[in-house]
Every structure is written in structure tokens, then in C-alpha cells.
Amino acid sequence: MSDSISEIRSATPSSTADVIRSGLRRRYRKEKTFRRIGLGAIVFGLLTVLFLFFSIGSKGYSAFQQTFVLLSVTYDSKVLGLGTNPTEEDLQTANYEGLVKKVLRDLYPTVSGRKQKRKLYKLISPGAFFEIRQRVLHNPSLLDTTEQLWLPADDDVDMLMKGYIDRTLDEDSRRLSDLQITWVDALEQQGKIRKRFNSTFFMSGDSREPELAGIGGAMMGTAFTLLITLTLAFPLGIATAIYLEEFAPRNRWIDLIEININNLAAVPSIVFGLLGLAVFLNFFGLPRSAPVVGGLVLALMTLPTIIIASRAALQSVPPSIREAALGMGASLTQSTLQHVLPLAMPGMLTGSIIGMARALGETAPLLMIGMVAFIVDVPQKLTDPSTVLPVQIYLWLDSPERAFVERSSAAIIVLLVFLISMNILAVILRRKFERRW
């Protein structure tokens, strides 16, 4: 550095200008290089996110459709094993499986042999039996009548219709035989097999059969869990932030509390799951795998985030607002609740929504309290066994069937839609109500 200064001092005016220009050029080159690196990092991040969305979307969009087969179903009382004037219990235990098998045999009367019949029966999902039973239970007058019904196809047939099964592979290398593919092609030519909107995916709970599995139970469990989380974390977080920022005296105890709150915000989420397991399940004896316990655990996890964001929102309010209110004779409580809090509320709402979005995507703490159970029924209340969307995705990804991979990707799409919507809502609320000074 000293050599450069002495060189500039000893140089002629023209050489001094050359040295300065050379230094400016080096500075501009470094600045351009830095800008290119920053721009490249942004482009790389965007491409990575786009690739992630494309990968998930390309695998999961097809789950929003399901393959159905049109069958002419005759509710034959003899096949169902029913006599005259059957009771509701008789209708519950009737042979609906045999009825569907007879419908398929009538559709392909040339099929013979146990092996071929088993392949034929595999064209229709086991859920078809339950659907026919529900129709008969709701309307017993259907007995000994015939109607055209669209019944769900088996998951392998669904994968074939969606192009996920390679027809060119050897028969031993795919899940459908050549004979089954021939039957499916014949049904398609007759217009008796088609893809329709998969309402089951949004309405039903989990199932061992991919074509019957849905996220309805997980969505209801998620709603109940987040309701408990919001009910507990939002008022407690806001009240704590107001007290610490506006009313608490400045001493070492308050400093210790603030340090612990900041540390809790960085604690791994699984630690809160262990806390919920030890306290809420083992000590208080609350029901396992229930939304009420999941909501309590996520409320503890979200509380530090809401407190920190709310305190930052309170700190952003200019001191002149407080001083003006106090100067006009307002008490500290009136100044805080009537003047400071309304101005800080947009930031508080933003922090709360972001905290809830984080809670929506959590899995580890819920695994510790048992919300990883196989739940078939859609939960109806806060204490019913249930699961949540992230855990449901985890369970499906552990299944070997290709159809579950499709449904896992579709569930991720739904989860991402919720997360993005919550973040967009936070931005909208902040821009709508934010005051700048």
C-alpha cells in the first residue's frame, strides 16, 4: 500500500491519471463480477425451485384423476344371498364381492379357469364392493334391478391408463398380464373405461389400496391441529410480546427470559415432540395420535416465533406515538392498546401466519406423539385419532406401489398450495395495513 502511494506521488500528472483509471477499472471489474455471482446465485435458486415444482407436478398431477369402469350391475338377491324382506343386518353382510365377480364373468363369458378369473377380478378395485353395498343400504329398492355404474378400477389398471406401465416390457416384468391389457383395451374401445375427477382423493381417509386412499382424513386432522395451535399460540404470543416490550422492567430476569425465548426459536422441532410425549401423553394422559395433542405441541413450537415477530412489530412503532399518547393524558395501558397495538398488528399477523405455515409443514414432533398411525376414518372431533398432511405423505412414500408415489406427489402439491397461500396472505396483510414513517 505504501509503495502504491509513493508511486502515485512520484509519478507525473499523466501517469497519476493512468494509475487512477487502472484502479477504477479493477474496481468496476470486481463489482461486475460480484453482481454476476449474485445474479447467478438467484438464477440457480430459481431454477432449482422450478425443477422441484416440475418434478413434483409431473408425478402428482395425474392423481387428481381416477380410472373408472362402466358395468351393468344386477342386484340379484340370490347372488347376494338374501331372502325375502331382508333386514339391515342382512344387507350389511350380503355377498357383494360375489355380485361384482358375477358381473365381470357375465361381461367376459369366455373366461375360464381359476387363474384367468383371478386376473379378471383384478380389473376392479375392492372399493367397488363397498360402493355397491352403500347404494343398497341407502336404497333397498334396488334389489333385483339393474343399473349402469361407474366403479373404480384397480390401481394397476389406473397406472396403465395413465401411461405409467410400459406395454413393451416382458409380461413377467410388469404388474399386468397381456390378457389383462387386452381386456382393458377392449373396454376402452367400447367406451366403458375412462378417467374421471378423483373426488375420493379429497374425501376419504387412508387405505391399503392406492385407488381408495385419500387425503380427506389428513386434511381434517391438519385443520383441527392448526385450530388448536392458533387458538393457543396467537393470544399467548401477542400478550407475551406486549408485556415484554411495553410493561416489563429491565432487569436480569427479563433478560434471561428473552434469551431463552430466542434460544427456543432455534431448538429442533423434534425436541418439542419429545416434550409433548413426556408431558402431554405420559404425565397428563391425553389421547395418543389426537389433534388436541398435536396442536399443543405445535403451539409450543410456534410460540417463540410469534413472540419474536410481535416484539419486532412493536419496536417498529415510532416512540413519538407513545410519547404523544402519554402527553395527552393516556395511561400506559391505553397508549399500548389503543395506539401502539393497532399500528403493530400487521407485523404481528404476518409473523403469526409465517409461524403457522411452519407448523403446517412439520412432521418430526408429530411422529413422536403417535400421529403416524394408519387412519382410515375421517376424524370428527379433536380427540379422534388422526394424522396430518406431512405425515400422510411420509407414510405413502414408504409404500412400494407406484400409485402411492403418484398420490404422495399430489399430496405434496396440495401442501405446497396451502403453504404458498399462507405466505401470500401474510404479504397481502402486511402491504394492506402497514404504516410507514
CATH number where 409 lies: 1.10.3720.10
Domain co-membership, 282 together with 425: yes
Q: What is the CA radius of gyration of the chain?
A: 32
**What are the counts of helices (DSSP H) followed by strands (DSSP E) for the chain?**
20, 3
What pLDDT shows up at residue 205?
A: 87
What pLDDT shows up at residue 8?
A: 46
- Name the residue range of residue 304's domain: 216-433
User: Is 210 contained in some domain?
Assistant: no
What pLDDT shows up at residue 64?
A: 92
Domain co-membership, 171 together with 89: yes
What pLDDT shows up at residue 10?
A: 53
Which mean pLDDT values do the consecutive 10-residue runs of the chain (437 residues) have?
A: 50 68 82 91 93 89 92 89 84 88 88 88 88 89 90 91 88 87 91 91 89 91 92 92 89 88 86 89 87 92 91 89 87 88 87 86 86 84 89 86 88 90 82 69
Domain co-membership, 190 together with 221: no
Percentages (nearest 5) of helix, strand, coil residues in the chain:
70, 5, 25
Domain count within the chain: 2
User: Is 13 contained in some domain?
Assistant: no
Grid cell at residue 317: 412503532
User: Is 46 contained in some domain?
Assistant: no
Nearest residue to 352 via CA among 220, 240, 268, 209: 240
User: Is 36 contained in some domain?
Assistant: no
> CA 97 to CA 160: how far, in whole Å?
24
Domain co-membership, 154 together with 247: no
User: Is 264 contained in some domain?
Assistant: yes
Domain co-membership, 139 together with 270: no
Domain co-membership, 279 together with 395: yes
> CA 199 to CA 214: how far, in whole Å?
9
- Which of helix, strand or coil describes residue 246? helix
Domain co-membership, 353 together with 221: yes
User: Is 233 contained in some domain?
Assistant: yes
Cβ within 8 Å of residue 304, ≥6 positions away? 261, 262, 264, 265
Domain co-membership, 229 together with 308: yes
Nearest residue to 75 via CA among 121, 126, 139: 139
Structure pTM? 0.83
> CA 166 to CA 168: how far, in whole Å?
5
Strand segments (E) across 153-201: 193-197
User: Is 272 contained in some domain?
Assistant: yes
User: Is 54 contained in some domain?
Assistant: no
> CA 122 to CA 118: how far, in whole Å?
6
Q: What is the DSSP string of 414-428?
A: HHHHHHHHHHHHHHH
Nearest residue to 219 via CA among 363, 354, 392: 392
Burial zone of 226 (CB within 10 Å; 0-12 exposed, 13-18 middle, 19+ buried): buried
